Structure 1
Amino acid sequence: MTRYFKQFWPSNLLYLGLTTITSIQTILSALLSAAQLNALIKFDFPLFLRWVLWDVGNFIILLAMYYWQAMLRAKTTQKMDNAVRDDLTNRICALPYTAYHARQTDDYSSWLSNDINQIETQGFTNVYSLVDSGLIALFSLITLVTMHWTLAAAALGFSGLMIVVPVVMRRHMAKASQLVSQKNEHFMQVVNDHLKGFDTLLALNHQPLLHALIHDAQQPLAAAKVHQTKIQAIASTLGNFTNITAQISIIFITALLAFQHIVSIGLIQSTGTLSFRVFSMLASLSSQLTLISGTNALFTKYDQLPAPAAKESQVLSTVTSGFVLRDLTITYGQTKAVADLNQDFRLGGKYAIVGPSGSGKSTLFNLLAGKLTAYTGSLTLNGQEYRTLSTTAIRDQVLYLDQIPYIFSGTVRDNLTLGDDYPDAALIAALQRADLWDQVRRLPQGLDSGVGENGRTFSGGQRQRLALARGFLRHKQIVLMDEGTASLDKDQALKIEETLLADPKLTVLMITHQLYPEIEPQLTGVIRMMPRREQPEPAPVAHLA
């Protein structure tokens, strides 16, 4: 957390300066109150009125300083929130495919929303509150020390006691905060998972399951929050008990000194106010420090993600030759998903890959698409070994299409550009190449027409074509289609497959369980894969020129 305060040090230094000024003004207000009381005791109205006017003037300035301080604090807090979120997002973006999918997407959503909110409320907010109350307490303590040595001794003694008493709760509060974060992650997983499945529950008239699951999932989160509050309440009670005892003692000592004419009677009001400032701050010190330290667990969790690597400079030169696989083996644990595969996929070739489930087709595609990186044997593209290429370089050439491509909420333009800047002519050309432009231009707003949540206003075939157009816009030369037309009817499936096969610039590899006779003549080759247990020994060599 410290690094974010350092990152925005000019704003935080200015805030510290403002807080110092407001703290001094607050102490001054307490002393002015003592002067007013002393004037009243003397029945000196002009003197009393003078001190009141000074107090009013000080108060007006204090209000203005508070406003400026609050605005600076809010703006700086949001800047630090955004910086934490940006750093976390960069780490998530740097995750390789397998590492990203080791967690659920809902976990990352919870980190970027709930955890950041927790860092703000328990971390940044408490640090600022600690600075505010700490400076006032420091100046209050200095003022008490200058009044009389007995007040100084009592204030220092009770201060030490109030620091020691609640420390025993710190570890318990840190555990409670971490438990709330864990339970919240689980709750978000359940909620998002079943909200996404609402249409399925609706079709089965089973919506009550959604309510029941969310109701059950919120109970552990509620219990964790209650436990956290309980720990905080115990710490607060211990601190407040010591706080009240300390304040009463300081006022009593001041009264004794006033009876002996050592200090003025008006100082009873000032010492009461000053001691309240000191001991209230110390009463909350332990809980604030614990809440702040509790956020360390969140930063530790983020730091376990790999730091974003330096921008990869390795790129594929103009691709002039396709994939060459020699004795390629991909292993999951102790299982060989693909074993000793030998195959050539030439540029511009069109290949269908068929075989039963478990034969390694999707695993092979995940490797070719750069999602997986571990293999033995040899796999080259453009004569360059895959393991020596950056995954960024691979993805610059390869477009992976699965059965249901993800379409973002927004417009057709948004889904094509994905935040990049392309002229309309390039967008239209990509849509024409994907055979989708005629349908898009008939939409009410053309490129700027909305596609609905996850592209729901588009048919399955249109979503596939829109995903294709994304790749064409970025000049992808190789298309891997993993059951990309399996959810479409035959006419739509054939149209998309024929669009790909008819494009001479494309190298197409498509996994299919339904190889239509209409397209077989257009294929360069058909590769049949079998599960490892069905493969004879030694494994056959499949090679097509």
Structure 2
Amino acid sequence: MRYIRKHIGTRGLACFCVVDFLFCLSSMGIALLLSALLDAATAAVAVGDVSPVVRLALTSCLYALVLGALRLASDALRALIVRDAMVNIREGAARGMIAGASCGRVCDSAEQLTVLGQNMDVLENDCITGSLGILESVFQITIGCIMLVLINPLVALISLAGMALPTLVPQLFGKRLSCQQQQVVEDAKSYNGRVRDTAQGGEVIRSFHVEQHVLDKLSGMIGRYQRHKADLNMTMACARSLASVVGIAMQFCIMGMTGVFAIWGYVTIGSIVAVTQLSGSVISPATELSDKISKLKSTYPILDRLDKPSDTPGARQEIAVCEPRRSIELDDVSFSYGDTDPAEGRLSNAPTTLRNCSKRFDAGKKYAIVGKSGCGKSTLLELLGGSLRPSSGHVLVDGRAGCVPDAAWVHQNVFLFDDTLRENIGLGGTFTDEQIGSALRLAGLDEVIAALPDGLDTPVGEGGGRLSGGERQRVAIARALLYGKTTLLVDEATSALDKETAARVEDTLLALDGVTLIAVTHQLDAEHAARYDEVLEMKDGRLAAM
């Protein structure tokens, strides 16, 4: 219920409880109505007057209409609660994923697919819908027991004992169900990851003719996943079966005892019918309650995962974002991918990527950072952009610590959404055609747009497959210009392009007036090097002018 209250609120839950309680009360009232009809018919046979039976029959018809209306209202409210709860839960999970990415956390796409896909279906069916079902079962059991007390307290006591036994079944299987659900969640994550890799690694698979090897690994993962799901379903089936056996046995006991009471004259024939109806309305919900509780407990690992914040050592937390107007500065910055000791401000024994780097990058100037692959250039760029926090020292924006620069990135592999070119450049922002046209011209994309069949409204395809590598780089530049970014962090953006295309992209970047450009690369020709305000070299974890 905590999740329903959290995502729906007390008012929505209260409305459902009132309507569902009235529906359960009306449903249980059928037993008393049947009892009254049978007793009236028995009396009518003795006195020859059927009018009471006719009146009760007409009342029963109206009763059925009211019951149908309550059922409709209850189901409608249930559907609305499930809808709103799942919208909020899915949006919350998506916000968590986006916030994690914004804070520099490493997001496992397979885990995210599992969280936003299969896990959500399990939560909808077994947690949200299941919790509402538990409420209804509790209402049915409570009302049924009260009505049985009105008929015969001893019968009610026996029914209460019979109801308690099926509800104890989840205690026998709860821990096992939780462990098995956790295993299924892990298997789903692994399976989604393998499917993702298979889909994205087609070129490698074809080139090295490893189709059978990949298929064998995928088949093994599928088999393990389905086997563990079957184990979970089997445990649930055992819990349901045991609860059903106990429930049916207790119902027979209650009916037998009621028959004895009828022979002794403690209850009427009509009461026997009422007890028959009510005992089923108590024992059956108790059996269902056992199943629903078992399923609800199996969702606890998923709920724990949603509640548990993920983090990556070195990733930044929420922090102020500032537009650099004068400079970005490294102040004696060191960084290690190992753990740090914030209390003592010292590095652990893990290898240090950057060592005591100090450098001021003035606004509006163009900087190139060169060095061998793996020397720490990209790490330096992530520290400047705020994706990583220094192990020691500070990154200053206009001389201030505690904030990160409002910068745009241009990577080697530019990410594009499977949408139109306009959406990929504007990213949902409201911009005039003149603003978009200006950004396109500065990024050198105007001729590319003119050649496309639908211009800016042309779909770029998955991963921007309709555009060349150089065109995707220019889209990233156009994004930054359109959003007025004055700082560009360029990470090996041209390394995968041919020489001519790489030169055009670099010319575009160097021609941007008023933009601070910090570009890292492992190769830089003399012609372009001369156009940078300063060329720096990263070597042995230190930054120095060339």
State the TM-score, normalizing by the size of structure 1.
Answer: 0.89
Aligned to 2:258: 254
Deviates more, 1:495-504 or 1:369-378: 369-378
Cα separation, 1, equivalents of 2:331 and 2:155: 86
Q: Deviations over 1:342-367 (max 9, x none)?
A: 43433332232222122111111111
Does structure 2 retain, via aligned residues, the 8 Å contact 1:344–1:543?
A: no
Structure 1 residues 40-49 or 267-276, which shifts more? 40-49
Once residues 331 and 136 of structure 1 are traced to their aligned partners in structure 2, the CA distance between those partners, rounded to angstroms, is: 61
Structure 1 residues 263-314: Cα deviation after superposition (integer angstroms, max 9, x where no partner)? 221322221121111111222323322322333332222222179xxx9784
For residue 496 of structure 2, the aligned residue among 487, 500, 522 is 487
Alpha-carbon spacing, 1:78–1:209, altered in 2? closer, same or farther (3 Å): farther
Contact 2:420 2:458 in 1 (8 A): yes
| 2:392 alignment counterpart | 376
Most deviating of 460-469 and 77-86: 77-86
SS at match of 2:459: coil
Deviations 1:474-509 (A, max 9, x none): 111222211101111111110000011122322222
Alignment of 1:74-85 (within 5 A): 74-85=79-90
Find out whether 1:36 has 2:33 as its counterpart.
no
Mind listing any 5+ residue stretches in structure 1 that lack a counterpart? 533-538
Structure 1 residue 402 corresponds to structure 2 residue 406: no
Q: Find the aligned partners of 1:315 and 1:132 in 2 and give their Cα distance.
A: 50
Which segment is superposed worse, 366-375 or 440-449? 440-449
Question: How large is the Cα RMSD of the aligned pairs?
Answer: 2.6
**Residue of 212, 217, 223 corresponding to 1:213:** 217
Percent identity, aligned pairs only, is 26
Where 2:354 maps in the other structure, the secondary structure is strand
Match of 1:535 in 2: none
In structure 2, which of residues 190, 195, 200 is the aligned counterpart of residue 196 of structure 1? 200
SS in 2 for 1:94: helix
Please state whether the residue corresponding to 1:348 is helix, strand or coil.
coil
Post-superposition shift, 1:63? 2.0
Structure 1 equivalent of residue 330 of structure 2:
325
Task: Find out whether 1:365 has 2:381 as its counterpart.
Answer: yes
How many equivalent residue pairs? Answer: 525
Which of 136, 139, 147 is the aligned partner of 2:140?
A: 136
CA 1:315/1:230 → structure 2, altered by over 3 Å: closer, same or farther? closer
Residue of structure 1 equivalent to 2:26: 25
Deviates more, 1:430-439 or 1:150-159: 150-159
Tell me the distance in 2 between the aligned counterparts of 1:204 and 1:145. 76
Deviation for aligned residue 1:69:
1.6
Query: What is the aligned counterpart of 1:442 among 434, 451, 471?
Result: 451
CA deviation string 1:363-419 (max 9, x = no partner): 11111111111243454332223xx21x4xx2x2x2221111100010112112222
Q: Which position in structure 2 is the counterpart of 1:94?
A: 99
State TM-score, norm by structure 2.
0.89
Aligned partner (choices 366, 372, 388) of residue 350 of structure 1? 366
Deviates more, 1:253-262 or 1:403-412: 253-262
* Structure 2 counterpart SS, 1:380: strand
Q: Distance in 2 between matches of 1:315 and 1:201?
A: 43
Q: Distance in 2 between matches of 1:165 and 1:336?
A: 56
In structure 2, the partner of 1:454 is: 463
1:164 to 160, 164, 168: 168
Counterpart secondary structure, 1:230: helix
* C-alpha spacing 1:27/1:326, structure 2 compared with 1 (3 Å): closer
Equivalents in 2 of 1:63, 1:216: separation in Å?
50
The secondary structure found in structure 2 opposite 1:529 is strand
Change beyond 3 A, Cα 1:174–1:52: farther
2:177 to 169, 173, 177: 173
Q: For 1:403-454, what per-residue CA distance to the aligned partner results, in whole angstroms no more than 9, with x for missing partners?
A: 1110001011211222222222222221111111222133232222211111
Deviates more, 1:245-254 or 1:6-15: 6-15
Once residues 115 and 293 of structure 1 are traced to their aligned partners in structure 2, the CA distance between those partners, rounded to angstroms, is: 14
Partner of 1:187: 191
Name the amino acid aligned to 2:373: S
| 1:92-121 alpha-carbon deviations (Å, 9 max, x no partner) | 3333668621x5122122112222221111
Which moves more between the two structures, 331-340 or 450-459?
331-340
CA distance, structure 2, for counterparts of residue 99 and residue 407 of structure 1:
19
Deviations 1:174-233 (A, max 9, x none): 222222222222222222222222344355565555543332212222122122122212
The alpha-carbon distance between structure 1 residues 13 and 461, as it changes in their structure 2 partners (threshold 3 A), is same
For 1:238, the equivalent position in structure 2 comes to: 242
Query: What is the CA-CA distance between 1:240 and the residue it aligns to?
Result: 1.3
1:224 aligns with 2:228: yes
Residues 1:164 and 1:429: Cα distance change in structure 2 (over 3 Å): same
Q: CA deviation at 1:31?
A: 2.2
AA in 1 matched with 2:156 = A
Residue 530 of structure 2, aligned match among 510, 521, 540:
521
